[in-house]
Amino acid sequence: MNQDERYTALFGGLVTMFQTAALQQMGKIKNPATDSIERDLDQAGMSIDMLEMIQWRMKGNLKREEEDYLMSILRDLKLNYVDELAKQKPGSVDVPGETEKK
């Protein structure tokens, strides 16, 4: 495996790590350490914000496939986040990363 392939795999692993964390924090999947469903929407929002920061900081430096993968993950996580937040506080939906977009 050359360095480019290695970094592509590591990037995918990093994105997947934050995706998995956000899904666990939203209560969508079990926490494997506790074997239970846990919800912490503030922390889930932070995980989504971290992925959005990576997207912003890497703009212009990602391969098309990496960019598409990250955008797809972010879109899915934001939809799930809004769904979970609406269950908690109807009418009060704040999507991570959406407050400062221009």
Tell me if 81 sits within 8 A of 26, measured CB to CB.
yes
- At 93 the pLDDT is 54
Structure tokens at 87: 């269950």
Q: Could you count the other beta carbons within 10 Å of the beta carbon of residue 15? A: 19
According to the model, what pLDDT value does residue 101 have? 43
pTM: 0.83
Q: What is the pLDDT along the chain (102 residues), one digit of tens a residue?
A: 899 999 999 999 999 999 999 999 999 999 999 999 999 999 999 999 999 999 999 999 999 999 999 999 999 999 999 999 888 765 555 666 655 443
**Residue 86, H or E segment:** helix 64-88
Neighbours of 43 (CB within 10 A): 15
pLDDT at 17: 97
